[in-house]
Amino acid sequence: MKSYVLVLLLVAIPTLVIAGTHVDSINLVRPNPAPGDPIRIYVEASLPDVCWTQGPVGDSEFTVLDSSTGEDCTIAIFHYGILFEFEGRPAGDYSITITELHESVRDPGSWEHVVEFTVESPVGSDRQSWSSVKSLFH
């Protein structure tokens, strides 16, 4: 399940902007997932003017589109978010790469953002017998 929302219009001034979009933050929704828990990564980013729009979202990538034809683009900073969801993992250390693609003449390219995290087993669960676990609930 992936979702994204254009959130806020802050400023509107006619001018030419050369700079492109940028990622404000990338975070795990749950910093210490347990084994099997879904891994959710939330990306917050900004679009600098009305010529930029949020484009397609894939399994681990998102695209921003620039419709500028060389004419002035009105500055209008839009903040938006994208939620990436991945299947749970067993205990261990992992990294997931989120790729940001720019379809633009003014700011072309792609950027990779790596999120590293650890899935930890519950403490002591591998040392308990089934009968000792059952006794906790009686």
Concatenating the DSSP letter of every residue in 53-102 gives EEEEE-SSEEEEEE---SS-EEEEEEEEEEEEEE----SEEEEEEEEEEE
pTM of the complete model beyond 0.75: no
Element (H, E) at 134: helix 130-135
Distance from C-alpha of 113 to C-alpha of 90, rounded to nearest angstrom = 23
Using one digit for the tens of pLDDT, what is the confidence trace for 35-52? Answer: 999 999 999 999 888 898
Q: Give yes or no for residue 79 having a pLDDT over 50.
A: yes
Q: What is the pLDDT of residue 70?
A: 75
Q: Give yes or no for residue 13 having a pLDDT over 80.
A: no
Query: Helix (H, G, I), strand (E, B), or coil: what is residue 38?
Result: coil
Backbone CA torsion sign across 122, 128, 132, 134: positive
Q: Which domains does the chain have, with CATH numbers?
A: 3-124 (2.60.40)
Q: Give yes or no for residue 66 having a pLDDT over 70.
A: yes
User: For all residues of the chain together, what is the average pLDDT?
Assistant: 80
User: Which residue's structure tokens are 């099997």?
Assistant: 36
